[in-house]
Each structure stands twice: as structure tokens, then as C-alpha cells.
A and B are shown apart, each in its own frame.
Chain A
Amino acid sequence: GNSVTQMEGPVTLSEEAFLTINCTYTATGYPSLFWYVQYPGEGLQLLLKATKADDKGSNKGFEATYRKETTSFHLEKGSVQVSDSAVYFCAVGNQAGTALIFGKGTTLSVSS
């Protein structure tokens, strides 16, 4: 079945540093890919998505490109802020299109 693997954290950065969180996927067909963010004590919020190869999802300065050739969907941001501190989850649609399969999450901590 479909699966995702994302880099383990925690990732600790200073404000204005460049962020990359790696995510690779295994899938049959061409499922949608997602990044969700979870702030402490809250539910998941959709950060961005891509539905087909070479699509770039972007939101709030974050970007990720659906790369079929490397089966990757890495999350990037050029300049992180303290308010970006959260747990980030990469997710892929399952084969049946009935559920999301999540990575284990990467904790990002940004200090001023």
C-alpha cells in the first residue's frame, strides 16, 4: 500500500533560517500529497497540497513540489519565524482514496 517517510526531528533553527523537511512516498498511481501542521494542543491544519506530478503547493511562505522522479514532496521555507514552531506531517492519499496515510511527524523549534 501507499506510505510516506519523513525525516525525524527535532529540527532546531534560528529565526530567519532556511527550512527543509524531507518527505518521500511510495504509491500506486498518482495520489494527492499533503503537508499538515499541528500546533501544541490543537488539531491538524492543512498547510499545502499537490494533486499531480510537478505541482507546487504553497502557503504562508512554505512550498513543496510533487516530484514523481524522486518520489518526494519536501517542505521548504526560506525564512522561518518563531511562530512556525510546530509539528509538521507529510501525508499521502491511500490507494482506495478513502484515507490519508501520515508520516510520523517532524517537530520544528525556532528560536529568536
Chain B
Amino acid sequence: NAGVMQNPRHLVRRRGQEARLRCSPMKGHSHVYWYRQLPEEGLKFMVYLQKENIIDESGMPKERFSAEFPKEGPSILRIQQVVRGDSAAYFCASSPSSRPGGSTDTQYFGPGTRLTVL
């Protein structure tokens, strides 16, 4: 059973360009989460999606960032007009379900995409 897959593993962009990060969840998982890890810091939640729906985007910057999880294909995290501060490791996680009442299902993480903005 393949794990969470992310590509590319490394991405270099110049300031002002667009970055597209892809995530394929584990087989049977319909919930996808994106996190960002800045140097020397822990992971910060960005967005939680189910198929064709954004459930929680409270951690997503209001401008330049967007995410989708279409009915077919991988989830995409898109960063427009990248700046040097966007340089980070972006991790995708997936889970089979999400329980209500404050309990979070186990999330399985991909290897990450390391974005470098020149």
C-alpha cells in the first residue's frame, strides 16, 4: 500500500513565479491536510480538504495561496508570485476519516516538497 506521495520533492522558483505542489493521499483516504515547516520551526497547519471541498483554511495566508482537491487527481497547493519568505518544506498528510468532537484521526505524512525561492 503506497504511502502519501508528493511531487516534486524539490522545487526552485524565482521571485514572482508560481509554485504548484502536488499530493496524492494514501489509497482509501479522502481527507488531505497541508502543513508548512519553516526552518528551525515545527509544522504549521495551513488547510484541510476533502474531495472538492475546503473544510478548514484557517492557517492559509489570505493572499497568493490556494488549495484544491478535485474529484479526480491529486490535491494541489498553489502559491502565486512567490517571495523569499515562502521558502520552506511543505508537507501533505492524509487520513481515512475525521471524527467530530475534537478528536483527530491519525494523519499520515508524505515526504514533503522543499521549496526554495531565489
Contact = CB atoms under 8 A, between A and B. Distances in A.
A87 B107 CA distance: 18
Interface residues of B, number: 29
User: Interface size bucket, A side?
Assistant: 20 to 34
Contact of A98 (B43, B56, B109): B56
B102 A28 contact: yes
A97 B99 contact: yes
A100 B35 CA distance: 9
B110 A43 contact: yes
7 contacts: A27-B102, A28-B102, A32-B103, A94-B102, A97-B99, A97-B103, A99-B48
A24 to B, nearest CB: 15
Interface in B38-57: 41-45, 48, 55-56
Main secondary structure of the interface of A (DSSP, over half): loop
A102 interface: yes
A51 interface: yes
Interface of A: 2, 27-32, 34, 36, 42-46, 49, 51, 89, 93-105
A89 B106 contact: no
Given A43-B6, A101-B45, 10 more contacts: A30-B102, A36-B109, A42-B111, A43-B4, A44-B93, A51-B103, A100-B93, A102-B42, A104-B42, A105-B41
